[in-house]
Amino acid sequence: QLQLVESGGGSVQPGGSLRLSCKASSRNLAGYAIGWFRQAPGKEREGVACIGNDGTMRHFGDSVTGHFTISRDAAMNTVTLEADRLTPEDTAIYYCAADYRGVSASSNYRQNCNLIDSRYEIWGPGTQVTVSS
């Protein structure tokens, strides 16, 4: 079973940066589109960024464009979400998720991604990001 784990969360001051990582415990993530989502207390979950299975296609949520960057390492072991110029509005639990069933889809499908929650079947437990003075 594919299991994901996030790391890199923590507390930062406004204007600070964090690098969040998404990794699989026993396999790499080469076969999957990966999405990052976040949810703050009392708020709906929203998409932050996603990346296709080979890293050639990326999408960002409208509220975070230019504020977050998503990437994959060369070995496809890690998907990294870089968060810059953080504000208190970025405080949330951040989750990474994998489009597990998409491994059987076409190459074009797997290379692309979106920020629709239902596409993703495997979710990590989340990592807390807190931005405050």
Using H for helix, E for strand and C for coil, what is the string for 27-66? CCCCCCCEEEEEECCCCCCEEEEEECCCCCCEEECCCCCC
Q: Distance between alpha carbon 105 and the CA centroid of its chain, in Å?
A: 21
Over 90: is that where the pLDDT of 110 sits? Answer: no
Mean pLDDT of 73-87: 91
* Residue-wise pLDDT tens digits, 119-131: 999 999 999 999 9
Residue 20 in tokens: 């969040």
pLDDT for the residue 103? 80
Q: Distance between the two ends of the chain, CA-based, in angstroms?
A: 40
Mean pLDDT of 66-80: 89
pLDDT for the residue 17? 97
Q: Assign 65 a pLDDT band (cuts: 50, 70, 90).
A: low
Q: Assign 63 a pLDDT band (cuts: 50, 70, 90).
A: confident
| 71, 51 contact by CB (below 8 A) | yes
Partnered with residue 24 across adjacent β-strands are 4
pLDDT for the residue 87? 94
Mean pLDDT of 84-108: 91
Closest by Cα among 103, 123, 131 to 47: 123
* Residue-wise pLDDT tens digits, 3-55: 999 999 999 999 999 999 999 877 788 888 999 999 999 999 999 999 998 89
Q: Residue 51: exposed, middle, or buried by beta-carbon count in 10 A (0-12, 13-18, 19+)?
A: buried
